[in-house]
Homo-oligomer: A and B are copies of this chain.
Amino acid sequence: MTSTALLTDQYELTMLSAALKAGTAHRSCAFEVFARRLPDGRRYGIVAGTGRLLDALDDFRFGPEEIDALRPVLDDDTLGWLADYRFGGEIDGYREGELYFPGSPILTVRGGFAEAVILETLILSILNHDSAIASAAARMVNAAAGRPIIEMGGRRTHEQAAVASARAAYLAGVDLTSNLEAARTYGVPSAGTAAHAFTLSFAHADGSDERAAFAAQIDALGVGTTLLVDTYDITTGVKNAIEVAGPELGAVRIDSGDLGVLARQVRQQLDDLGATKTKIVVSGDLDEYAIASLRAEPVDLYGVGTSLVTGSGSPTAGMVYKLVEVDGVPVAKRSSRKESHGGAKRAVRAARSTGTIVEEILLRDSTRPEPGVAAAPIPGTDGLDVSELQIPLVRGGDRVEDLPTLEESRKHVAHGLVTLPWEGLGLSHGDPAIPTRYLNEPESR
């Protein structure tokens, strides 16, 4: 086990120290994770990272090495408390893959002030990163309109963020990744064949030798492989590819130039050569807008890199972790321009009988129905189906059993996107796809 305990801001632990000394460390608290707004012009977000978070929580322990590292910063009482630390509270949250909107209580952490406050940084780092990637990826999946996408952006982001990005992209509906660690750790299907360097490596003093490179690749990987045809000249590259591989070649990849025009030319050339089943893979600075613009072109697979792993202009989801309740008293910061809603919340979503969602409603947590008991009707939802959004994730510090798998969460994303009102899937800047309504808000201290 590698401890995740120091993936934390120093102020979490100095707050802890002060709370221990003041005797307030054990006050019963509820913290809530939410985003005040969606990234610029987005219409929905996708919750991602929950599975990774629960893993990281298991490893959030202060062993001897962590305690030693903190000695310059903290007093002995605090260090002693940390050495025994194990989160023992409760966590509820939106299931991984759920849609979210501004104000959605994506995660609610309940426990003593001290045990809950020190999880802030870890929780936000994971949810902010993974949700940003999944939210961007879902737009690309939607733009691809059923055609598959491979994530290949690992080289454009931090080496470990790359692994989490591949997972989040897969969750959101992307089909494949180039990242081998994501394949090992999370079982994301991986793929990949060759780069320009491979073709160039067959050059010699007399010139290039694309055909030798293609022959070597087919010899090693079989005729079903994907040959990269744009190292030198694309038309010659396609000709060489089919001459070497025959018309059963799996695919060709184009990684530069005007992809729409080139895809059409290459399709025509492949068909003329009898390679009617050879697929066309395109890559190179694709984002959701570029993918959408290629919808009418003969493209079989999109390779997406930079824009996927950097959240397509929004590399963080901007979620915050706010104390909303202390010993049953709703609390909220009241200073300018950062309005918060105090009190622990219950979240439901109302949908028409067709499945199309209409509204998200945030209520006092005290209205949450007991398991097996029918919920009281919610004002303004007559004739609508109302579903609870939070599920139990952690009880008594332990992960709840039988939480959804990554595959199940991936299906949940696909289902969720279908429930959006049609304008919610627009790629252009717009408002959140559905409004959020606060019901019977308490007054905060």
Contacts and interface: CB of A to CB of B under 8 A. Distances in A.
25 contacts: A7-B154, A7-B181, A9-B155, A10-B180, A11-B193, A11-B195, A13-B180, A18-B216, A19-B198, A70-B180, A121-B159, A125-B155, A126-B158, A129-B161, A155-B321, A160-B160, A197-B322, A200-B326, A200-B332, A204-B445, A207-B445, A208-B331, A232-B333, A256-B335, A256-B338
B157 A315 contact: yes
Contacts of A201: 19, 24, 27, 29, 113, 117, 323, 326, 331
A161 B157 contact: yes
Given A121-B155, A125-B154, A129-B161, A331 B203 contact: yes
| Most B CB within 10 A of own CB, among A12, A20, A31 | A12
Given A18-B221, A204-B445, A327-B204, A10 B124 contact: no
A197 B73 CA distance: 20
Nearest to A128: B156
Contacts of A398: none
B21 A194 contact: no
Interface string A208-228: 100010011101110000000
Contacts of A205: 328-329, 445
B159 A56 contact: yes
How many identical chains are in the complex? 2
Interface residues of A, number: 109
Nearest to A319: B155
A231 interface: yes
Interface of A: 2, 4, 6-15, 17-22, 24, 27, 29, 31, 56, 66, 69-70, 73, 75, 113, 117, 120-122, 124-126, 128-129, 152, 154-164, 178-181, 183-184, 190-198, 200-205, 207-208, 212, 215-217, 219-221, 230-234, 256-257, 306, 309-310, 315-316, 318, 321-323, 326-329, 331-338, 445
